[in-house]
Chain A
Amino acid sequence: MCLAIPGRLVGICGDGDLRVGEVDFGGVSRDANLAFVPEAAVGDYVLVHVGFAIAVIDEAVARETLEALTMFEVLTDEETQNRGQVQVSENLYLSRVSRGGVG
């Protein structure tokens, strides 16, 4: 029930409580009420729940969170080492899978 899907705002019409946006969900478009995200602008990603956008996704924060977890950036020496550790962990993981269980 609390399912909310991220989509990109591609158009806006109306204002106030009747401000409605066209939101693109990876190729499928639906309208969403924008009353709760007055700051939303075309091009933003919004989180849509039962026909209402309830948040604008903060791209900068999303990037920071992901970078902290995935280390996708250009690799410095230290990061290359980290990447190596990821590789090691991956091998460990796979060896555990091949033994028939993870964890």
Chain B
Amino acid sequence: MRHLDEYRDPVAIRSVLDRIDGALAGPATLMEVCGGQTHAILKFGLDQLLPERLRLIHGPGCPVCVTPLEQIDRALAIAAAPDVTFCSFGDMLRVPGSTGDLLLAKARGADVRIVYSPMDAVAIARREPDRRVVFFAVGFETTAPANAMAALTAAREGLGNFSMLVSHVLVPPALKALLGAEDCQIDGLLAPGHVCVVTGQRDYEDLSARFHIPIVVTGFEPLDLLSGVLAAVTQLARGEAGVENQYARVALPDGNAAAMRTVREVFDVCDRKWRGLGEIPASGFGFAPAFAHLDAERVFGVSELRVEEPDDCPSGLVLQGRLLPTACPHFGKRCTPDHPLGAPMVSVEGACAAYFHYGREAVAAEEACA
């Protein structure tokens, strides 16, 4: 087993599709939370194989997309400071800030480097003691243990030239905000499998009980996603609402204890502003007091920077599953992956980029003509 191809078997996929069709009692709307799941659904065309009365809407699980404009502006300010080497995952470089993006800053001479792991940024700080190395710590719970370990390693080694611009967000508080909206149309959720690998499922049990909604912890391959859908529609047909685990081969009910221990040592829960969703209480991580000396916002004095989101990109509605990317007036016109108006068109996990790359614009146009 390679744990990849096995989950793309066409015969099994067709069988699960038929079982979904049979189990679906009436029209239903499911939200897949994670941008990686959105990407896989569009890439494999699963949205086009599912029965029409089952609607998949795409959730806020793209950390690049929900990072607020002011955090990008803080990154730009830090990257422009003297002697700074600014390290980031590649996705963040093209997200537009108020005055350009990190890639433009790099073109203008800033030392901006793409890294694969936060530990690579720590290695740069170790290797180049004359540089002030800053890592842009963006991500959901999946990425928090790796970023926490980078901070812990830098602190243990006493690397005085290393800091992190932290923009960590948490999935359950955002889901609570979406499910609590008066006009919420979500009948069931596919919970983000890799987030649950780290955190476990307790928060999702609370959400399921509170909002009486089926939640299925789901993986990322076609068969994973469809069996997640099958479990959710089966619960709906029976009038049940509980948490099921489709991704049990890696997601344990209690999560990864070693990873969570490191996260709790380095980070505290704090309020966070989300692009498109606004400020959500207790919805992110910031440094615990013992690690405050690694906080780039303090080191570079940028924490007071406040910026309002621009009006011309309705990404907030896209991130809440309220607007399909193809329904946006700018989609594929003013806004393309080469010239993005907002983050969901930049990130590989952004819903707009997924629709653009997999040609859903053409499908939408055909349907409009038919």
Contacts and interface: CB of A to CB of B under 8 A. Distances in A.
Interface centre among B3, B12, B116, B119 (most CB of A within 10 A): B3
B170 to A, nearest CB: 13
Given A35-B258, A62-B249, A102-B48, A1 B117 contact: no
A77 interface: no
Interface string A74-103: 000000000001100110110000000011
Interface residues of A, number: 39
Contact of B52 (A51, A57, A92, A103): A103
Interface in A41-99: 45, 47, 49-52, 54-59, 61-63, 65-66, 69-70, 85-86, 89-90, 92-93
B198 interface: yes
Chain A binding surface, main DSSP class = mixed
Contact of A58 (B21, B51, B250): B250
A2 B140 contact: yes
Contacts of B36: 1-3
Interface string B246-288: 1011111000101100100000000000000000000000000
Interface centre among B63, B198, B252 (most CB of A within 10 A): B198
Contacts of B51: 103
A1 B349 contact: yes
A89 B14 contact: yes
Interface string B92-130: 000000000000000000000000111110000000000
A102 B11 CA distance: 15
Interface stretch (B189-197, B300-308, B312-320, B322-330): B189-197
Given A33-B149, A58-B250, A1 B3 contact: no
A49 B146 contact: yes
**Interface bin, chain B:** 35 or more
Given A38-B258, A55-B197, A89-B18, A6 B117 contact: no
Interface in B163-207: 192, 194-195, 197-198
Interface string B27-46: 00000001110000000000
Contacts of A12: none
Interface in B23-71: 34-36, 48-52, 61-64
Contacts of A54: 142, 145, 194, 197-198, 256, 259
Given A54-B145, A70-B9, A65 B249 contact: yes
Contacts of B16: 69
B100 to A, nearest CB: 22
A14 interface: no
Contact of B3 (A6, A38, A69): A6
Contact of B35 (A1, A4, A52, A57): A1
The 4 closest A-B CB pairs, nearest first, are: A51-B117, A62-B249, A89-B18, A6-B3
Interface of B: 1-4, 6-7, 9, 11-12, 14-18, 21, 34-36, 48-52, 61-64, 89, 91, 116-120, 138-140, 142-143, 145-146, 149, 152-153, 192, 194-195, 197-198, 223, 227, 246, 248-252, 256, 258-259, 262, 347, 349
